[in-house]
Structure 1
Amino acid sequence: MPLKRSSLSRRSLLLGGGALLGGLAGCGVPAAYIPPGERAAADRSARDKRLTWANWPLYIDTDDERPGRRPTLEAFEERTGIAVEYVEEINDNDEFFGKISPALMNRRPTGRDLIVISDWMCARFVRLGWVQEMDRGRQPNVTRYLDPLLRSPAFDPGRRFTVPWQSGITGIAYNRRALGREIRGVADLWAGDLRGRVTLLSGLDEAFALLMQGDGVDITRWTADDFHRMCDQVEEQVAKGQIRRFTGNDYIKDLSSGDVLACQAYSGDVVQLQADDPDIRFVVPEEGAELWSESLMIPDLARHKANAERLTDHYYDPGVAAELAAWVDYVCPVPAARDVLASSSDEETASLAEDPLVFPDAAMRERLVIARDITPKERTEFAGRWNGIAGL
């Protein structure tokens, strides 16, 4: 059966704003750290064919005729005999951190075998020792097909503890027809004809990297001086009235209505907006843009680790990855899925293989970078400064 691209709306990433939950989320409290030898529990996978997977809402393929069905997940269950309890319970990174951190810091199981959170939050879990190293011997597809751009972020060299679920780009979206010209870089946001018609993302972790890149900073090794220089520039634009406001995903409404002409945006959102308005454009600036991921992790004391590793590898089969990509519209972490989509008999699905916001082309890939994450020591100072600017 050919792949058929869903026309239903996809999930807009609800990335959290970096709240410091009792100081624990922002700094590795020594008592909370779990050493490697204390992270695993007896694995029941061989005799107990099931697992529990926590994910975000609307972040997996469903059947258009029967929305309660999830074809790629059901295919895994049928092939392996492993029953998956799929729970759409993650709506915000910080909120979910607060939900499961008491169990993890007190060395108790969370009741979940697999979770999906944003990489900047994954970094906290890795530093705290709250996730288990995956066995790549059970994951030949991950080993073979994971996008080279995503293989070794600073917080998890070699991706030992995390595997990208979906990826995306933080860039600039704008209305080409209403603006009457192209936008090529971050500096273009500060042009006079955009005064009061620009928005930036409110979350520190979502906003800072692109703005630094606009200042020529290598975001794989940025410094505190780079950060504060960027904040100085944003404060100047706020004082001039250039920036209309700081937003979460509600920038989508502002851009669609015409209240805003240009904004920081996520690539997956723009793919969806373009379906209704082809004048909406997405730009990876000439200076570069941030490539980010939301990743799969196996928390400490998970009871079905091997089953979770097999499920993770299932989604790295190019055919399965293609089916998922045709639904969610984010950057696919499996480049080999492109050929699968291109061969589809469904014209709309086949066209997705040529969409650089799902499969970035060679020129775009050269400008995509994974940012160095904010360290625990930096977070309190930097969040305080940024939140003051953004009015949080």
Structure 2
Amino acid sequence: MLAGSAGVLPLFGTPSRQQDPESCTTDDRSATEKSLVISNWPEYIDTAEDGGTTTLEDFEKATGIDVRYTADVNDNVEFFAKVVNQLGACQETKRDMFMLTDWMAARMINMGWIQKLDAAKVPNLHQNLISSLQGVDWDPEREYSAPWQSGLAGIAYNAAEVGEVRTMDELLTRSDLKGRVSLLTEMRDTMGLLLLSDGNDPADFDDDDWAVAMEKLRKARSAGQIRAFTGNEYIQDLSAGNILACVAWSGDVLAAGDENLKFITPEEGSMIWSDNMLIPNLAGHQDNAQKWIDHYYDPAVAAKLAAWVNYICPVEGAQAEMEKIDPELAESELIFPTEETLAQTHVFRGLKEYEARAYEGEFADVTGG
């Protein structure tokens, strides 16, 4: 899916694409149009069970707002390609909100493509955001972004088919896995884990470190070790045994409900990330979108959502609410990680524009090859 990324990313550096979010606006129709259009990742919101209501239905009932919710984000770069022309030209995306991962959220904010939040209309965000997600360097006051969920990138394997896979080197070299391994199209997750496998820090690496990790990836691809590079769709192949082990996102594995699927933090550590709620320029229902953010930062709502999606919950107080829903999930390290667990996680450093073009291009050469 990143095959076109080398051609897409230079657009970030084109001066004509830069916008001023204060001037690229439209009248907010929230007061007269009780509607909201959202794009999100697949399997990222709760569904109705046993006749109960979902958090989305609860929001609609509480606010009278009709939500058109679409799961059409499968990869950050792929979604970027859907909206780049509109955002770069100060035109409507026909969406009021979308959820994108930290690095892409940062780029869009830096390009002036995202509307500023009214802090007075999202009090729950500023009161309940967990401390580990506060003060990010690309949006230190959370003026433009609100984490939807966070998660870990590590290794998953099907225990009914194969023995434990403990390291990235095992994943990329073990003969019993050959041709039945998948990696993520999200460059920062896959390459972050490869950098860690060489003893390098994804938050502080240079071109030489990158070259070593890329050569390891090329070698594994050339040797036929890797079956595919995927977005969210890998989980079905893992359950079916079409792939035996993969680079995976923690919540996907936990939510699959398959006791044979195991998620582990590689011995060298895991990557951590957040997907963020963003309101794009020319969103026609900005106040409605802010009501959505405030709704999901209520601890009880956040716990109900987390009980279904099984990713790291960004809302303080949700763990206590989870005790009422599912005490076992309240103890899950993959939803409410301890400081010890977080100490094993790593973030991918911000890239300069020329680095992003070069690294994405190299990665695309391998993933699309």
* Structure 2 CA distance for aligned equivalents of residues 391 and 39 of structure 1: 36
* Pair 1:370 & 2:355 matched: no
Q: Which residue of 2 aligns with 1:12?
A: none
* Structure 1 CA distance for aligned equivalents of residues 267 and 357 of structure 2: 31
Contact 2:12–2:111 under 8 Å retained in 1: no
TM-score (norm 1): 0.82
Superposition deviation, residue 288 in structure 1: 2.0
Superposition deviation, residue 30 in structure 1: 0.4
Q: Which residue of 1 aligns with 2:98?
A: 115
Letter in 2 for 1:55: N
Q: Which residue of 2 aligns with 1:209?
A: 192
Letter in 2 for 1:386: F
Letter in 2 for 1:383: E
Contact 1:21–1:98 under 8 Å retained in 2: no
* Pair 1:148 & 2:131 matched: yes
- Give a deviation string over 1:189-227, Cα, whole Å, max 9, x none: 356454515433344244111111222222223333222
Superposition deviation, residue 263 in structure 1: 2.0
Q: Residues 246 and 26 of structure 1: is their aligned pair in 2 closer, same or farther, counting only changes over 3 Å?
A: farther
* Structure 2 CA distance for aligned equivalents of residues 199 and 96 of structure 1: 21
Q: Which moved more, 1:151-160 or 1:124-133?
A: 151-160
Superposition deviation, residue 272 in structure 1: 3.2
Q: Following TM superposition, where does structure 1 have runs of at least 4 consecutive aligned residues deviating by more than 6 angstroms?
A: none
* Structure 1 CA distance for aligned equivalents of residues 175 and 83 of structure 2: 47
* Pair 1:101 & 2:80 matched: no
Q: Residues 65 and 135 of structure 1: is their aligned pair in 2 closer, same or farther, counting only changes over 3 Å?
A: same
Q: Which residue of 1 aligns with 2:268?
A: 287
* Structure 2 CA distance for aligned equivalents of residues 102 and 329 of structure 1: 34
Letter in 2 for 1:267: S
Superposition deviation, residue 46 in structure 1: 4.5
Task: Tell me the SS of whatever aligns to 2:5.
Answer: coil
Superposition deviation, residue 366 in structure 1: 1.3
Q: Residues 25 and 113 of structure 1: is their aligned pair in 2 closer, same or farther, counting only changes over 3 Å?
A: farther
Q: Residues 157 and 377 of structure 1: is their aligned pair in 2 closer, same or farther, counting only changes over 3 Å?
A: farther
Superposition deviation, residue 21 in structure 1: 8.1
Q: Residues 240 and 195 of structure 1: is their aligned pair in 2 closer, same or farther, counting only changes over 3 Å?
A: farther
Superposition deviation, residue 28 in structure 1: 2.4
Contact 2:139–2:145 under 8 Å retained in 1: yes
Structure 1, unaligned stretches of length 5 or more?
1-15
Q: Give 1:79's match in structure 2, choosing from 54, 58, 62.
A: 62
Letter in 2 for 1:365: L
* Structure 1 CA distance for aligned equivalents of residues 169 and 8 of structure 2: 35
Q: Residues 305 and 192 of structure 1: is their aligned pair in 2 closer, same or farther, counting only changes over 3 Å?
A: closer
- Give a deviation string over 1:158-202, Cα, whole Å, max 9, x none: 43211111222110112446544x444334435645451543334
Superposition deviation, residue 239 in structure 1: 4.8
Contact 1:18–1:205 under 8 Å retained in 2: no
Q: Residues 239 and 53 of structure 1: is their aligned pair in 2 closer, same or farther, counting only changes over 3 Å?
A: closer
* Structure 2 CA distance for aligned equivalents of residues 56 and 190 of structure 1: 27
- Give a deviation string over 1:137-163, Cα, whole Å, max 9, x none: 222211122232323444433432111
- Give a deviation string over 1:299-342, Cα, whole Å, max 9, x none: 11223323321210110111000111122222222242121111
* Pair 1:174 & 2:151 matched: no
Superposition deviation, residue 354 in structure 1: 1.9
Q: Which moved more, 1:317-326 or 1:280-289?
A: 280-289
Superposition deviation, residue 233 in structure 1: 2.2
Superposition deviation, residue 284 in structure 1: 1.3
User: What CA RMSD, in Å, does the superposition of the two structures yield over aligned residues?
Assistant: 2.9
Letter in 2 for 1:64: E
How many positions carry a matched residue from both structures?
366
* Pair 1:244 & 2:226 matched: yes
TM-score (norm 2): 0.86
Task: Tell me the SS of whatever aligns to 1:343.
Answer: helix
Task: Tell me the SS of whatever aligns to 2:12.
Answer: coil
* Structure 2 CA distance for aligned equivalents of residues 84 and 375 of structure 1: 40
Q: Which residue of 2 aligns with 1:228?
A: 211
Indicate the percent of aligned positions where both proteins have the same amino acid: 37
Matches within 5 A, 1:17-56: 17=2, 19-20=4-5, 23=8, 27-46=12-31, 48-56=33-41
* Structure 2 CA distance for aligned equivalents of residues 201 and 108 of structure 1: 31
Contact 2:188–2:348 under 8 Å retained in 1: no
Task: Tell me the SS of whatever aligns to 1:37.
Answer: coil
Q: Give 2:111's match in structure 1, choosing from 117, 121, 128.
A: 128
